[in-house]
Amino acid sequence: MINRREIIKILASGTLFSLVPKAYGMVFKGLVMNVAGLKKPSSVYISWAAHDELSDSVPLTEELAMKEFNAILNLKKLGVQFDYYILDMFWFDKTGGFREFKKEGWPDGPDQWLHACKENGIKPGLWLPTNITGWSTDPWMNTKPEWKESAGGWLDLVMSLHSGDFLKYHIETMQMWYDKGVRMFKFDFADFSASTKMTETLYTKEEIIQKNEEAWFDALKQFRFKNPEAVYLAYNGYGGETGDTFPVFKKTIKLKWLEVIDSLYCGDPRASDVPCHNFWRSKDIYSDHMVRQYEYNGVPLNRIDNSAFMIGATGTCYFRKKQAWKGMLILSAARGGWMNTYYGNLDLLNDQDGKWFAKVQSLFYDLQQFGRISTFGNIPGTAKPYGFIAENSRGCLVTIINPSQKIEKIEIPLLPFNNYKILFTDNGFKPSIEKSYITLGPEQMALAGSGQYAGDEYNLGIQEDVIIPAIIEPVSAEITFPAKDQAQVIINYKGKNDLRIIFSQKTQDGHPVRISGGSPPNGIFMSKLLNIKAFQKNKEIPIILNYDKQIWSGLSWAVCEIQNMNIKPDEPIHVKYTVTDPLKRDFTIDSQVLEIKY
């Protein structure tokens, strides 16, 4: 088997007689050397969110896997494209070294699932850790005797990739599954600082990281050379700062991974640090922000897996089911990644949904492959307008988001086509287009088409379950701080509209402070940790909020609305915000009051 160093020697020796481009790699004296990167946009179903054993307690079973497989088949009949089906984390038996399916729920192993994939032209995939096998006294996988010389860190649950036989065993495991038909591997949880007791005395931390990365890099490259249909997705541990959306980017991603890995994901979907009354729109903004961060780091848009499309009834997706799924689907495609991943309960989608899904795919996949996709506007975490452009010689699609709490007139970048038409938007506020400007309401997204894409056949309708106010204006209010962890807003409002009150907490240098009460089923609901109460004459009045969920990823803001019918115009409104931070951190609280009308 030829490896990276041997190829470098061949190039240096001057004995290379032919180097000609091929569709699927480069030819070295008759040998095809595969390079990473998809050859066309692909559609990948991933089972996580239909099951969830980290932030919920729903197991992955054969019954669940086949239920989702049947949902995929139904969607395919309606025109939806699916190329791969990945079984995510916890398919494995914890005694089998990632070579056996768990006996509970998979009594006959994966043969039925593998056969169904083959018979229906869908390539199977599996989740695998990179080198972390657990993070508590209850590991995901019991350490195999073959791994003993690689074990270290966290109760011997993190494996060295350059010392001992773990890497050799891991690659042999991949080969076993590849030989059974598996073609895609989702690599998660990498720790390249992993060391054993021996190696940590021989090498510096920097040397250990370098050795682990080189060992994994070379192993993946050689595996692809031997198995040219293998496709790799990289998740946690391969760079990027995904914890919050503070709008200052750093270079934290090593672009060398793009030589061996087909796509890099940019963070599990969660709420951004941009406050939104619609919780799901804040999640959209998070994924938009992360794509921009990875783009800043030099990752091409088509190599970023935004992993943002996630529907389901589990804790990992905050029990959203299919709320606001249409805007989420458009954005997942508009961001430009060729690894189009779809997570969760596809069985929630009916036939009408499936036809709409297929229409979005056909519209964007062609532009992903044969057009050009770019970003414009502000960094999403600044809460100022931004968007994505998909263009070819026939026209343009422009996806625009206004994350602010005001109506914005947004300039569309100068493009060859200017006859824009709104193809999709949220309910409520009606966007308008004048020449190269589009006006959007607060928290609103819209898709506009020009040239060929301004035709009626590309219309995608209205997202009925996201409603944007038609009127929004700031209201003066007095803010006081009765305690370190409290803020109180006093509003003297005599108008006829509803009120929207926004609170957020951050450090002195502006970093968001996320509060979390843990995951379902035992996590604390956010309204208890970020508590808003409104009073008039010491009598509590009703409020409306959408953030009261068990949020594993934490939340740095709280938004509520008060309907005008519950307000007495001659009495001041006292709105009290109390933050309970389990970590007892220092922070400041900001607030904003707006009047709105739907």
What would the pLDDT profile of 458-471 be if each residue is shown by its tens digit?
999 999 999 999 99
Looking at the structure, do residues 358 and 486 belong to the same domain, yes or no?
Answer: no
Q: How far is C-alpha 145 from the chain's CA centre?
A: 36
Looking at the structure, do residues 120 and 217 belong to the same domain, yes or no?
Answer: yes
pLDDT of residue 33: 55
Looking at the structure, do residues 256 and 331 belong to the same domain, yes or no?
Answer: yes
217 and 256 in contact (C-beta within 8 Å)?
yes
pLDDT of residue 414: 83
Which of the residue ranges 4-8, 78-82, 247-251, 529-533 would you say has the lowest mean pLDDT? Answer: 4-8
* Structural domain boundaries enclosing 456: 376-467
Residues with Cβ < 8 Å from 182, sequence gap 6 or more? Answer: 114, 124, 125, 126
Residue 38 included in any domain? no
Supply the CATH number for residue 447's domain: 2.60.40.1180
- Dist CA 42 CA 54 (whole Å): 27
- Dist CA 550 CA 552 (whole Å): 6
Supply the CATH number for residue 285's domain: 3.20.20.70
- Tokens representing 221 are 């490259």
Looking at the structure, do residues 161 and 278 belong to the same domain, yes or no?
Answer: yes
Tell me whether the omega of the peptide bond preceding residue 107 falls within 30 degrees of 0, making it cis: no
pLDDT of residue 513: 98
Structural domains counted in the chain: 4
pLDDT for 505 beyond 70: yes
- Dist CA 254 CA 399 (whole Å): 29
pLDDT for 3 beyond 80: no
113 and 73 in contact (C-beta within 8 Å)?
no
What are the pLDDT digits (tens) for 157-177? 999 999 999 999 999 999 999
- Dist CA 366 CA 387 (whole Å): 19
Looking at the structure, do residues 433 and 571 belong to the same domain, yes or no?
Answer: no
pLDDT of residue 185: 98
Residue 408 included in any domain? yes
Burial (CB count <10 Å: 0-12, 13-18, 19+), residue 505: buried
Looking at the structure, do residues 357 and 343 belong to the same domain, yes or no?
Answer: yes
DSSP state at residue 316:
G
- The mean pLDDT of the chain is 93
Residue 158 included in any domain? yes
Instruction: State which of 440, 467, 494 marks the end of a domain.
Output: 467
Coil, helix or strand for 565? Answer: helix
Looking at the structure, do residues 161 and 247 belong to the same domain, yes or no?
Answer: yes
Coil, helix or strand for 4? Answer: helix
pLDDT for 27 beyond 50: no
pLDDT of residue 8: 34
Burial (CB count <10 Å: 0-12, 13-18, 19+), residue 154: middle
Coil, helix or strand for 192? Answer: coil
Looking at the structure, do residues 493 and 518 belong to the same domain, yes or no?
Answer: yes
Q: What is the C-alpha end-to-end distance of the chain, expressed in Å?
A: 66
Supply the CATH number for residue 528's domain: 2.60.40
Looking at the structure, do residues 502 and 523 belong to the same domain, yes or no?
Answer: yes
Which conformational region is residue 262 in: left (phi greater than 0), alpha (psi within -120 to 50 degrees), or beta?
A: alpha
197 and 152 in contact (C-beta within 8 Å)?
yes
Burial (CB count <10 Å: 0-12, 13-18, 19+), residue 59: middle
Residue 171 included in any domain? yes
Which has the higher per-residue pLDDT, 30 or 489? 489
Looking at the structure, do residues 148 and 29 belong to the same domain, yes or no?
Answer: no
Which of the residue ranges 9-13, 143-147, 490-494 would you say has the lowest mean pLDDT? Answer: 9-13
Instruction: State which of 467, 501, 528 marks the end of a domain.
Output: 467
- Average pLDDT for residues 98-105, to the nearest whole number? 97
- Tokens representing 472 are 């929004």
Q: Of all residues in the chain, what percent are helix, strand and coil, respectively (each to 5)?
A: 25, 30, 45
Residue 262 included in any domain? yes
Checking DSSP bridges between strand 386-392 and strand 432-434, what pairing results, if any? unpaired
What are the pLDDT digits (tens) for 381-410? 999 999 999 999 999 999 999 999 999 999
Residue 117 included in any domain? yes
Q: What is the DSSP string of 479-522?
A: EE-SSTTEEEEEE---SSSEEEEEEEEE-TTS-B--B----TTT
Instruction: State which of 467, 501, 522 marks the end of a domain.
Output: 467
- Average pLDDT for residues 530-556, to the nearest whole number? 96
pLDDT of residue 15: 36
Which of the residue ranges 147-151, 152-156, 224-228 would you say has the lowest mean pLDDT? Answer: 152-156
101 and 200 in contact (C-beta within 8 Å)?
no
Looking at the structure, do residues 73 and 161 belong to the same domain, yes or no?
Answer: yes
What are the pLDDT digits (tens) for 291-311? 999 999 999 999 999 999 999
pLDDT for 10 beyond 90: no
Which of the residue ranges 150-154, 393-397, 428-432 would you say has the lowest mean pLDDT? Answer: 150-154
- Dist CA 587 CA 582 (whole Å): 13
Looking at the structure, do residues 460 and 484 belong to the same domain, yes or no?
Answer: no
Please, which pLDDT band fits residue 21 given cuts at 50, 70 and 90? very low
Q: Note the residue count of the chain.
A: 598
DSSP state at residue 469:
-
pLDDT for 9 beyond 50: no
What are the pLDDT digits (tens) for 301-354? 999 999 999 999 999 999 999 999 999 999 999 999 999 999 999 999 999 999
pLDDT for 13 beyond 50: no
What are the pLDDT digits (tens) for 239-287? 999 999 999 999 999 999 999 999 999 999 999 999 999 999 999 999 9
